[in-house]
Amino acid sequence: MAGENIQWRHSLEEAQNEARQQNKLLLVDLFNPG
Protein backbone atom coordinates (compact mmCIF):
# COMPACT_ATOMS: atom_id res chain seq x y z
CA MET A 1 0.00 0.00 0.00
CA ALA A 2 1.07 3.60 -0.36
CA GLY A 3 2.88 5.13 2.57
CA GLU A 4 5.27 2.21 2.62
CA ASN A 5 8.07 4.37 3.99
CA ILE A 6 6.34 4.41 7.35
CA GLN A 7 7.52 1.46 9.38
CA TRP A 8 4.21 0.21 10.69
CA ARG A 9 4.27 -2.29 13.52
CA HIS A 10 1.53 -4.87 13.80
CA SER A 11 1.90 -6.03 17.37
CA LEU A 12 0.61 -3.67 20.05
CA GLU A 13 2.75 -5.21 22.74
CA GLU A 14 5.96 -4.89 20.72
CA ALA A 15 5.06 -1.32 19.77
CA GLN A 16 4.42 -0.49 23.42
CA ASN A 17 7.82 -1.86 24.42
CA GLU A 18 9.50 0.09 21.68
CA ALA A 19 7.66 3.29 22.63
CA ARG A 20 8.71 2.81 26.23
CA GLN A 21 12.35 2.34 25.29
CA GLN A 22 12.40 5.35 22.96
CA ASN A 23 10.21 7.55 25.17
CA LYS A 24 7.71 8.06 22.36
CA LEU A 25 3.95 7.96 22.03
CA LEU A 26 2.13 5.29 20.07
CA LEU A 27 0.10 6.11 17.02
CA VAL A 28 -2.54 3.43 16.56
CA ASP A 29 -4.25 3.30 13.16
CA LEU A 30 -7.24 1.06 12.58
CA PHE A 31 -8.07 0.86 8.90
CA ASN A 32 -10.17 -1.16 6.50
CA PRO A 33 -8.65 -1.55 3.04
CA GLY A 34 -12.07 -2.35 1.55
The answer to whether residues 2 and 9 touch, using CB atoms and an 8 Å cutoff, is no
The answer to whether residues 26 and 19 touch, using CB atoms and an 8 Å cutoff, is yes
- 1-34 binders of other proteins (CB under 8 A): 1-3, 5-12, 15-20, 22, 24-34
Count of residues that interact with other proteins, criterion CB under 8 A: 29
Report, in Å, the least distance between residue 13 CB and other proteins. Answer: 10
Give the Cα separation of 12 and 18 in Å (integer): 10
Q: Summarize as ranges the residues that interact with other proteins (CB under 8 A).
A: 1-3, 5-12, 15-20, 22, 24-34
